[in-house]
Structure formats: C-alpha cells, structure tokens
Amino acid sequence: MGSAEDLNALAQLAQGIPPGDVLRDILDEVLALRPKITSYVETNAAAHAKAAYTPATHAVLSYTVVYLPGNLGNLVHEMTHVAVNEAYGRDFVNYGNVAANPVAPVYVTGGLRQNEGARQAKWMDAGANSQMIEELQQLQSLTSLLMSAASVTQAAAPVITTMRVQEVGSKLSYGVFNPHIEHDTVINQTLVWLEEWGVRGRAKAVGPGKPTAVKGFVDALERAAKRAYDRRKAGIRPIAI
C-alpha cells in the first residue's frame, strides 16, 4: 500500500465519522494540509516530518512526511507535526512561546534548518511542558485500568488486548519524554488507533451512569485531543524568525 492508498484510507476514515466529532475535526485538519506536503516517504525505521524553507524569507516552502506505510495512526502523527508547525511557526514545537529568543535559523541544501533542534530548545516553555506532561501521565494512569478491564480478559473478541494497551502506554511515554514536540502527535495517533480498533465505538455504546475503564480512557483522551485541537486553531500567527 502506497501513500495515495493510505491517504485515501484516511479520507474514508474521516468520512465515516460524524461532523463535530473531535477525531473528524482532527482528520479534516490534517487532510487539508495535503497541498503543503509535497513528499510522502515510506519507511520501516524512524518516522518524522520535516520542513523546507525559503531562506530569504524564512517561510515554509513545503513539507516531507516520512511514515510507516499502512499505519494510519502513524501517518496522522506525522501530519500532526505539520499542523503544529502551521499553527505556531515554532520549528514544530506544539505551542506558541512568544517570549523565547531562538538562535537565527541556519539553512542547508534544500532549505532544511540545520539548527532546528537548538531552536526547539529555545522555544520550550517549562510551564507548558509541565501541563502537557501532567495530561499525558494522567492518561497513562488510565491505561493501567484497561489492563484489568473486562474487554481485555473476558470478551470473546476483545477490542482491547494487552498488546494494544502496551502500544498505547508506550506512545504516551514517548510524549512524556518529548512534550514540546510530541504531545499533540501521540494523542492524535492514539485516538486514530482507538477508532480503528473499535474502542471508541464500544465506549460510545456504554449507557449513561455505567462508566467503564474503556469509556473513562476514551473520554479523557478525547478531552485532551479537543484542547490541543482548539489551541492549534487559535494559535495561528505569523512565522517567527
């Protein structure tokens, strides 16, 4: 399966989700960025997104997304990096720290920023990082409840398996260690996984007053995703040099 097929599958996934749903909003957001992403590179190694700039103006010229083929969650993760950079213009840092004073960008062939990591370190804000770490750790604590959920141990066809819970926990841990650039991405990736696995559907089928570990996790994840999405929508500002 190539990138065209993966992008079509992502669009079909979006079409199957009602408008107003937070995941539908997120998928519409990243799919709208397709004209800005001029290259999709399939990999079996480290996925990432990168921007090419026009050195004279420092404006983004295009993006490249390197992702795991056939993995829609990973594709959304990398496209979320693009959404973050479009929203804040802070070298892929997922908030707009206006008080930072980063070093001047240095470009290499192709318009890539050679010192992107150094600039990201300057964009970091301790308060924002702490809030994002706390949010991700709260989600991590809820994954421990999933391990003992009936859907893991008793269902004939479980939508939550031990391996899947471990995948979610690992991805959230990745965000905890890199909150300034991975908070939004790991939340969106996890939300896509839960949709594909049928977990969100099961959570929404739970009746009022009948909370479950699965529903509790899904609800908390959706709230976090909505907060991050709203920040990106409100965070659009001129590109900072």
Domain holding 178, by residue range, is 127-228
Residue 117 corresponds to which tokens in the numbers above?
């990591």
- Could you give the CA distance from residue 173 to residue 104 in angstroms, rounded to a whole number? 31
Q: Which band of pLDDT confidence, cut at 50, 70 and 90, is reported for residue 205?
A: confident
Structural domain contains residue 234: no
3-state secondary structure of 197: coil
Residues 158 and 81 in one domain: no
How far, CA to CA in Å, does 205 sit from each of 89, 198, 199?
A: 39, 11, 10
Structural domain contains residue 103: yes
Q: Which band of pLDDT confidence, cut at 50, 70 and 90, is reported for residue 132?
A: very high
**With contact defined as beta carbons under 8 Å apart, do 94 and 183 qualify?**
yes
**With contact defined as beta carbons under 8 Å apart, do 212 and 149 qualify?**
yes
3-state secondary structure of 94: coil
Which residue, chain included where needed, has tokens 């004209």?
A: 35
- Could you give the CA distance from residue 162 to residue 187 in angstroms, rounded to a whole number? 19
Asked if residue 150 has pLDDT above 50, the reply is no
Q: Which band of pLDDT confidence, cut at 50, 70 and 90, is reported for residue 212?
A: confident
Residues 155 and 84 in one domain: no
Domain boundary among 109, 124, 139: 124
Domain count for the chain = 2
- The closest of 147, 151, 148 to 202, measured between CA atoms, is 151
Residues 114 and 216 in one domain: no
Which pLDDT score is estimated for 144? Answer: 76
Asked if residue 18 has pLDDT above 80, the reply is yes
Residue 104 corresponds to which tokens in the numbers above?
């001047």
In the chain, % of residues over pLDDT 90:
74
Tens digits of residue pLDDT in 36-71: 999 999 999 999 999 999 999 999 999 999 999 999
**Residue 112 region by backbone torsions, left for phi larger than 0, else alpha for psi between -120 and 50, else beta:** beta
- Could you give the CA distance from residue 212 to residue 210 in angstroms, rounded to a whole number? 7
Domain boundary among 60, 95, 124: 124
Residues 144 and 63 in one domain: no
Domain boundary among 100, 124, 148: 124
Asked if residue 149 has pLDDT above 70, the reply is no
**Residue 110 region by backbone torsions, left for phi larger than 0, else alpha for psi between -120 and 50, else beta:** left
Tens digits of residue pLDDT in 75-103: 999 999 999 999 999 999 999 888 888 99
Structural domain contains residue 190: yes
Which pLDDT score is estimated for 157? Answer: 55
Asked if residue 147 has pLDDT above 60, the reply is yes
